[in-house]
Structure 1
Amino acid sequence: MKKHIVLTAPSADDGTPDGPVDVVLEGGPAHLPRGLRVEPGEAASGRLKIANGAGYEHYERVRESDAGPWVFRWIMRTRIAE
């Protein structure tokens, strides 16, 4: 079951939320949470990079709607260079 989370209210000036936003993650490793709180600048870019073990899980925004949760779908994993 997908968990849908409501975003915080947008600021009046540019439409970007004032505080952290809740996002829904689709795909990727099963042990990662399906819902996260992220800073608006991170989510607004349309991509998320989440640290996981010795690498990062990359997600891309799939829905461009202000009404409802921001949904990000897993696209790839990269490893941390040594």
Structure 2
Amino acid sequence: MTFKRISFISSHDGDILSMDYSHCGSMLGSASRDRWVHMFTDDYIPSNTIADHSAAVTAVKFAIRDYEFRLMSCGTDKSLYYYN
């Protein structure tokens, strides 16, 4: 099987440590050592940046709870952020 690149995104200033697609595939999230979480539309267009962490963000995860779209992130600053 051969894959064809459909997009290239240069958005972080540090190593990317985690990526996750939303359950419906409409959002992509990435987490990095640069302390940022970036979110992109299904066309890979930047839609939001979260800069709440004070150290590297090690994971980002989308979830659905009570029929609402959620985003969680955690990092080496020993914190867990939960967004809706």
TM category, shorter: 0.3 to 0.5
Between Structure 1 and Structure 2, the one with more strand by share is 2
Q: TM-score, normalised by structure 1?
A: 0.37
Q: Which has the higher contact order (CA 8 A, sep 6+)?
A: 1
Between Structure 1 and Structure 2, the one with more helix by share is 1
Q: TM-score, normalised by structure 2?
A: 0.36
